[in-house]
Structure 1
Amino acid sequence: MNFQEEFEANRLQWNARVESHVASKMYDVPGFISGDTSLKKVELTELKNLEGKKVLHLQCHFGLDSLSMARMGADVTALDISDTAIEKAEDLNEQLGLNAKFITANLYDIKKHLPAEEQFDLVFVSYGAICWLPDLTAWADIIASYLKKGGEFYMVEMHPYIYTLDWDRFTPEYHYYNKGVYKETVTSSYADDTPMELTEYFWVHSVDEIINSLMKKGLSMTKFREHDYQTYNCFDNMIERAEDEFVFKDVKVNIPYLLEVKFQK
């Protein structure tokens, strides 16, 4: 896999986002420190009875969801490519007296940092993660290899349809099926208005590619659901139609915003 330039550019742009994300209203770190969970209502319906469970959280950003699960009694190991994000996650972990473990690494290098014999009850992925990955076959292999027999993979992700759109005109601009890497200039963050001038690389993966990459590794799908709202106010021109349900103000028809899946080994 020869995407080192792309991965490094993405690492740098995620490093650049961390400070503003920590300070943003969207992530609400003060509320989290005071006891609020960062997990949203969609995933809270599934993330129950975590006491004593071993959880692997892939692409954890600065760790709020990881630490939320640790607060629920899970034994959490979490990974992210951004060293700045992991430093903040570790600071919060220490400040809150939790025992989550954090790894700074490219997802595809995880086996250099986490022993292959480690086995988990749950592997968790959420919100804007897999668009940074070129190869879902290798991603699914990592998930399957770290799940114990009977363990579950659970993901709540941006629906691939959203990534096909020009978000100013709401017309298709990107291929729905994976046609390779896209390169764009980042001028602001989804969490606030902090200006930036950085390069990002991303990939669009269809529902077909996501589902089949996991099934080909022997995992059995136990839940599939599409949601017609976003749980974060993370795009321009959104309105909150109900609590924690955001939709594009200028789109008058139902479209899929989130994809929720669960698989069992």
Structure 2
Amino acid sequence: MYSPIPEDWHEANRARWDERVPIHVASAFYDLASFRAGKDALRDFERAEVGDVTGRSLLHLQCHFGLDTLSWARHGASRVVGLDFSEPAVDTARSLAAELGLGPDRAAFVAADVYDAVEAVPDRAYDIVYTGGGALCWLPDIDRWAETAAALVAPGGFVYVSEFHPIADSLDDETGGRVVHDYFVRDPWVDTTPGTYTDADAPTVHNRSVEWLHPVGEVVTALAKAGLRIEFLHEHDATLFPRYAELERHEDGYHRFPAGRPRIPLMYSVKASRPA
């Protein structure tokens, strides 16, 4: 028997994210000043694996306040659309797009739940449907997510997922060297930790969240069941923040385990295409 999903999971998560938008906007983690000056928000492996986006349309599901979305526009995507359930995040994304001189014809943002994306976004077929790190853990139903993403891919296009590896949530926070949580757990995880990943000491009120761990096999299988062809599954030995105390920050901005220590995957990426 699985634990029931709290009835207020969606409202609790949205309130948490709404409150954290201004904290993230002001943070060194997102460094908006550098982004405005031209710094790329995307990871190097994402750019390499997605490839040239020049002249292609791209939909970013769960886009937060749009830095990755707008970065794809900067790389030449003909039109980008970002979707997020947080209205403050979407408002911020729209303001940033206007600052960069990207009108709605180049960069549009929609406030809606990801499961409602087919009805909410302005187009019905995108060359690329993209989702970045830290998105899938907020969704209870990965099959429904994959079906939604697949329904929005144009023939010959693909879904690209860049995510934190779920094995990381099975290990202890101090060393990342001991398995302390069940990798295959299906129960929702309710957290009440204040602050946020950009500022652990930030004063916050809406601290309750409901999250889910989705094993990599579950994500890949859901995409295949939705009618997409899996092109690759890549695992990466680096992550974007100091998930464990023993991780070291490298010059490229990634966090890795010290040299000589056995490595584990900390992120993964999947490309799944729709036949032309």
Q: TM-score band (shorter)?
A: over 0.9
**Cα pair distance change 1:94/1:87, threshold 3 Å:** same
Aligned partner of 1:53 in structure 2 is 56
Aligned partner of 2:243 in structure 1 is 235
Aligned ranges 1:1-265 → 2 under 5 Å: 5-74=8-77, 75-98=79-102, 99-114=106-121, 118-168=124-174, 170=176, 171-193=178-200, 194-197=202-205, 198-230=207-239, 232-235=240-243, 237=245, 238-248=247-257, 252-265=261-274
The more displaced of 250-259 and 46-55 is 250-259
Q: Hey, what's the Cα distance between the residues in 1 that align with 2:257 and 2:197?
A: 14
Query: More strand by proportion, 1 or 2?
Result: 1
Does the 8 A contact of 1:134 with 1:180 survive in 2? no
Residue segments in structure 2 that go unaligned for 5+ positions in a row = none
Q: Hey, what's the Cα distance between the residues in 1 that align with 2:259 and 2:210?
A: 27
After superposition, the CA RMSD in angstroms is: 2.1
Task: Tell me by how many angstroms 1:172 deviates.
Answer: 3.1
Task: Tell me by how many angstroms 1:236 deviates.
Answer: 5.3
The C-alpha deviation readout for 1:149-208, integer Å capped at 9, x for no partner, is 111111110001012223136433432124121101122211123233410110000111
The C-alpha deviation readout for 1:5-64, integer Å capped at 9, x for no partner, is 101111111111111111111111100001111001111112332122111100101100
Kindly provide the amino acid, as one letter, of the partner of residue 134 in structure 2: G
Q: Hey, what's the Cα distance between the residues in 1 that align with 2:50 and 2:222?
A: 23
User: Is the partner of 2:222 in helix, strand or coil?
Assistant: helix
**Cα pair distance change 1:216/1:251, threshold 3 Å:** farther
**Cα pair distance change 1:196/1:14, threshold 3 Å:** same
User: Is the partner of 2:80 in helix, strand or coil?
Assistant: strand
User: Is the partner of 1:172 in helix, strand or coil?
Assistant: coil
**Cα pair distance change 1:241/1:34, threshold 3 Å:** closer
User: Is the partner of 2:184 in helix, strand or coil?
Assistant: coil
In the superposition, the TM-score normalised over structure 1's length comes to: 0.92
Q: Hey, what's the Cα distance between the residues in 2 that align with 1:217 and 1:35?
A: 37
